């Protein structure tokens, strides 16, 4: 049991006083680079709302440096392994498409709407919006430098900083819609109230907040594989609702989507990965980040293959020109496009109890 002096005094999500016998969990090994603190600190859970949290917040400067340079997120992987952004008219992302469909059931998105996305990644949501005719002002907070060029090419105003209340005040009463898709769980638990307050500050009256996070109720789904590095905050549906409504936003939709969390066997997956040598780390002498050897071997091999792909693309661009090449790619995607009923049957469009992602919509 962790001594009371080391515990948070209250839950950042619901405000309930933390108990000395709070449930504790360790992080599971990861196939990416990580900070050493994930081996040193446990995850503790609030008994009232089942919000899970790293037991002590990670140093803000250390965390910002990690996300900007070492975190192996989607933007970094794409930048390291792809030559150009090949999204065309017939490209689509099921997650952002399903999120946008849900948002539009409850909130009108116009071409003059001001939208802020916190943790915009490589712009999947912005791309989906542009496919549907959106031409408004889009403000993106994204620390990963590898994502900035593609976001700018899509028309976003990019801020390469970690979002906080100070940043929010620059856009007070500006946004019609604020989006956080798989980014809130990356914030320190102690900063969750300020992040949600920042969202509220940016929203105009009647504006909408859309948030999606993993359904990481560690008590209810102990073997679903949600003790993920580098997540810092682990939400149950109740914890997310209470964290958002505590800052004056009214929840208008809350449910879970995706595959079922019940019956998952993450331990078997971990055992197979460990047997393959996927959890061997070497400290970086300059930053102290623990580098995953298997991951960097994968990146080197992937990059080598992509060099051939890049040469082929450059050759085709010289022969056909960029416009004709992209038209050919688009025609190929159109030919391969799935029937709409198959797209709609994707788990991203399926809602119910005990599914892997929580989606919440709240209004100011």
Q: Does 318 reside within a domain? A: no
Residue 127 clears pLDDT 50, i.e. is over it: yes
Residue 78 clears pLDDT 60, i.e. is over it: no
Q: Does 310 reside within a domain? A: no
Contact 27, 231 (CB under 8 A): no
Domain interval for residue 78: 4-299+336-363
Neighbours of 6 (CB within 10 A): 10
CATH code at position 60: 3.40.50.150
Q: Does 23 reside within a domain? A: yes
pLDDT (tens digit per residue) in 307-344: 888 788 788 888 888 788 888 888 877 777 776 667 77
- The pLDDT score that the predictor gives to residue 81 is 35
DSSP 25: E
Q: Does 276 reside within a domain? A: yes
Cα 183 to chain centroid distance, Å, stands at 4
Instruction: Locate 82 and state its tokens.
Output: 């792809």
pLDDT (tens digit per residue) in 209-226: 999 999 999 999 999 999
Phi, psi for residue 268 in degrees, rounded to 5: -65, -40
Q: What is the edge-to-edge ordering of all strands in the sheet holding 24-25?
A: 24-25, 43-45, 52-54, 233-234
Domain total for the chain?
Answer: 1
- The pLDDT score that the predictor gives to residue 88 is 67
Q: Does 140 reside within a domain? A: yes
Q: Which helix (H) or strand (E) holds 39?
A: helix 37-40
Q: What is the pTM for the complete model shown?
A: 0.88
- Kindly provide the residue ranges of all beta strands, DSSP E only, lying in the chain, ordered along the sequence: 24-25, 43-45, 52-54, 115-118, 138-141, 157-159, 175-181, 203-214, 233-234, 250-260, 281-283, 290-292, 351-352, 355-363
Q: Does 61 reside within a domain? A: yes
Helices and strands, counts by H and E, the chain:
13, 14
| Rg of the chain (C-alpha set) | 21
Q: Does 347 reside within a domain? A: yes
Rounded Cα gap, residues 215 and 228, in angstroms: 12
Cα 352 to chain centroid distance, Å, stands at 21
Residues 6+ apart with CB under 8 A from 111: 133, 134, 135, 136
Higher confidence at residue 126 or residue 73?
Answer: 126
Neighbours of 291 (CB within 10 A): 16
- The pLDDT score that the predictor gives to residue 335 is 78
Secondary structure class of 70 (helix, strand, coil):
helix
């Amino acid at each position: 049991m962790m001594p009371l002096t080391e515990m948070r005094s209250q839950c950042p999500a619901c405000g309930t006083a933390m108990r000395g016998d709070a449930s504790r969990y360790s992080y599971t090994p990861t196939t990416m680079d990580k900070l050493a603190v994930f081996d040193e600190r446990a995850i503790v859970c609030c008994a009232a709302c089942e919000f899970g949290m790293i037991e002590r917040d990670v140093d803000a400067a250390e965390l910002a440096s990690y996300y900007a340079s070492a975190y192996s997120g989607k933007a970094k992987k794409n930048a390291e392994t792809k030559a150009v952004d090949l999204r065309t008219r017939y490209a689509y992302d099921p997650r952002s498409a399903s999120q946008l469909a849900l948002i539009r059931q409850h909130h009108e998105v116009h071409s003059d709407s001001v939208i802020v996305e916190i943790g915009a990644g490589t712009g999947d949501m912005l791309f989906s919006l542009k496919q549907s005719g959106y031409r408004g002002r889009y403000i993106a907070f994204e620390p990963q430098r590898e994502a900035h060029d593609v976001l700018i090419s899509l028309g976003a105003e990019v801020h390469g900083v970690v979002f906080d209340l100070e940043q929010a005040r620059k856009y007070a009463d500006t946004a019609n819609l604020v989006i956080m898709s798989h980014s809130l769980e990356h914030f320190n638990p102690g900063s969750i109230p300020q992040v949600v307050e920042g969202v509220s500050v940016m929203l105009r009256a009647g504006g909408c907040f859309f948030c999606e996070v993993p359904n990481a109720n560690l008590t209810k789904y102990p073997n679903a594989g949600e003790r993920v590095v580098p997540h810092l905050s682990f939400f149950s549906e109740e914890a997310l609702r209470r964290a958002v409504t505590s800052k004056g936003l009214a929840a208008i939709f809350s449910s879970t989507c995706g595959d079922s969390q019940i019956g998952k066997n993450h331990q078997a997956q971990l055992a197979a990965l460990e047997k393959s040598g996927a959890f061997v780390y070497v400290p970086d002498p300059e930053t102290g980040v623990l580098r995953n050897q298997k991951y960097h071997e994968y990146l080197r091999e992937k990059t080598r293959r992509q060099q051939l792909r890049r040469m082929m693309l450059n050759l085709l661009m010289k022969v056909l020109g960029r416009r004709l090449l992209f038209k050919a790619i688009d025609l190929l995607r159109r030919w391969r496009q799935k029937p709409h009923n198959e797209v709609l049957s994707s788990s991203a469009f399926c809602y119910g109890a005990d599914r892997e992602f929580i989606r919440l919509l709240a209004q100011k």
